[in-house]
Structure 1
Amino acid sequence: MSAVPARAALPPGAASREVERHRGDAVERVRDAVAEEVPVALLYNDRPHVVMMATPQDLDDFALGFSLSEGILDAAGELESVVVTPLLEGIELRLRVPPARAEALEERRRNLTGRTSCGLCGAQALEDAVRQPAAVRGGPRIDDAILRHALAQMHERQPLNAVTGATHAAAWARVDGTLAHVREDVGRHNALDKLVGALVRAGEDVHAGFLVVTSRASYEMVQKAATAGIALIAAISAPTALAIQLAETTGVTLIGFARRDSHVVYTQPQRLAARQEASP
């Protein structure tokens, strides 16, 4: 990325480090902006559940979104409180949930470290890893122009990636293509969890918009989105075969290779129509 002036204000989640930059035969020492990545531990009713490597911003959204997208909670109201505690080793998120939820979680408790590229780390059984969400009903109907309008806004809505080049983004577009919420993180799953939390906190109707992600559409991204009730996903990169299978069985419209002038619809194409030409 470009050199960072010594007193430049960085967006939350970025840090400044001195680096040695080589360009052709020239070598210079400059300040560079890099994305922060810290261990974030989630504890439910004081019991450790999982540690994720994440960008330390929007952590209240992350706590709620992770709890919902992982099926730990069924509704936002079940999250009674979140206490964010910075520690020398990382950050603790202490979540208070109803005892019945904590007991159910204990039965499938995962206490392993999840890495930024792995949304299934810590799953102890196949049924934990390959979880089938309920079918998604309804959802928006959009056309190509609306999708492209949403994509056109993505770059300017990613301030952290603009200075670091190291983060993913998950964005919520309304039915006219306007981006209403965007969350960034070094982990694509974390960015989606943060977005889910933000949507719920804002009272957004998940049937009245669609998801845009800057990563590939892996199985767990579709799983999280479907669990949250999101019916249409547009990914800038490719989906996997298992993601396509899950999207089909859960009724999710899955779009890959989304660009300003092209895209590929893999499942449930009825929600996306080609742009209609005006009548004579």
Structure 2
Amino acid sequence: MSGVEKRTIWKFTPGNKTAEAVEDAVAVEQAFTVIVNGEETGTIVCTPSHIEELAAGFMAGEGIIRKYSDITQLEVDHSTGFVYVKLQEGMKVDKDQMSKRFIGSCCGKGRQFYFKSDMMTSKTAIKGASFSIENCLKRMEELQNASSVFHATGGVHNAGIADSDRLIVIRSDIGRHNALDKLYGNWLMNPYSLRDKMIVFSGRLSSEVIFKASKMGVGLIVSKSAPTNLALEAADELGITAVGFVRNNMCNVYTHPDRIREFIG
């Protein structure tokens, strides 16, 4: 199974005074350094699966590329942990854009972005299809049931793109942001309309997670976990419906409830 390593551990259980040697599964962690046009651009510590998608999603999130055709060559060397990327002629990496804190404004409101790349690539979500609470609950249940790596290790985050009827793609990673970047990269390689889609996510809804949904152009993100205040402020301004604590047949709708059918009159 990709992203899983077996090893012998010593397991203590209630009532036993001695440990039992058993074989257990652990999540695999590896660092990959992205080299763009011969320059080191960033190192991502991740689950070593779907690395091409991860690299593409990472570069799009940082504003290095806008579409997958901006890349002329992408090679992954799993043995050394390097990803070699060549861009179309004339394209280059703006390292200031990737690292500078930036404060911008939009529509008369003050919006603070932690990085200039977020300001450059985030976009307000367009109104699209509506979803029922049942849609959100079912897609979350399907996401949790479908992650073989999580069930084997308990050590990864899961993210998926879904419509009202089914999960379209699922990606897992030890890093919650990496799981989303893999989704983004998968979509860049095989683009389709996201106006009637949702992101289903196992991790906390941080501001970075909201920005990633915004960059992809998805207007609804549902999570089994909690949001942060900055995430909700970003979701408010970017027109994203944020739904948290999606579990046990319950959920909380925090922003833009007009995408949820139960709120539509």
Deviation at 1:155, TM superposition (A): 2.1
Is the contact made by 2:57 and 2:181 (CA closer than 8 Å) also made in structure 1?
yes
Distance 2:185 2:44 in 1: 16
Identity across the alignment (%): 26
Most deviating of 66-75 and 29-38:
66-75
1:104-253 mapped onto 2 (5 Å cutoff): 105-108=94-97, 123-126=99-102, 129-130=114-115, 131-132=118-119, 133-176=122-165, 178-253=166-241
Is the contact made by 1:188 and 1:215 (CA closer than 8 Å) also made in structure 2?
yes
Deviation at 1:126, TM superposition (A): 4.3
TM-score of the pair, normalised by structure 1: 0.83
Deviation at 1:124, TM superposition (A): 4.4
AA aligned opposite 2:200: V
- The residue that corresponds to 1:259 in the other structure is 247
Distance 2:67 2:95 in 1: 19
Most deviating of 127-136 and 92-101:
127-136
AA aligned opposite 2:91: R
- The residue that corresponds to 1:8 in the other structure is none
- The residue that corresponds to 1:13 in the other structure is 3
Deviation at 1:94, TM superposition (A): 1.0
Distance 1:221 1:37 in 2: 21
Is the contact made by 1:40 and 1:53 (CA closer than 8 Å) also made in structure 2?
yes
Most deviating of 242-251 and 70-79:
70-79
Shift in CA distance, 245/275, structure 1 to aligned 2, threshold 3 Å: closer
Deviation at 1:125, TM superposition (A): 3.2
Alignment of 1:85 with 2:74, yes or no, is no
Structure 1, unmatched stretches of 5+, are: 1-10, 110-122
Is the contact made by 1:143 and 1:275 (CA closer than 8 Å) also made in structure 2?
no
RMSD: 1.9
Alignment of 1:44 with 2:74, yes or no, is no
Deviation at 1:58, TM superposition (A): 0.5
Please state whether the residue corresponding to 1:215 is helix, strand or coil.
coil
Please state whether the residue corresponding to 1:263 is helix, strand or coil.
strand
Distance 1:253 1:57 in 2: 29
Deviation at 1:16, TM superposition (A): 0.9
Distance 2:148 2:263 in 1: 31
Deviation at 1:149, TM superposition (A): 1.7
Deviation at 1:108, TM superposition (A): 3.6
- The residue that corresponds to 1:23 in the other structure is 13
Shift in CA distance, 259/268, structure 1 to aligned 2, threshold 3 Å: same
Distance 1:243 1:275 in 2: 22
Question: How many residues were matched structurally?
Answer: 249
Structure 2, unmatched stretches of 5+, are: 104-112
Please state whether the residue corresponding to 1:257 is helix, strand or coil.
strand
Deviation at 1:49, TM superposition (A): 0.8
Distance 1:80 1:143 in 2: 41
Deviation at 1:135, TM superposition (A): 1.1
Residues 240-260 of structure 1: CA deviation (Å, up to 9, x unaligned): 111111111111111111124
Distance 2:79 2:192 in 1: 33
Deviation at 1:69, TM superposition (A): 2.2
Most deviating of 235-244 and 68-77:
68-77
- The residue that corresponds to 2:106 in the other structure is none
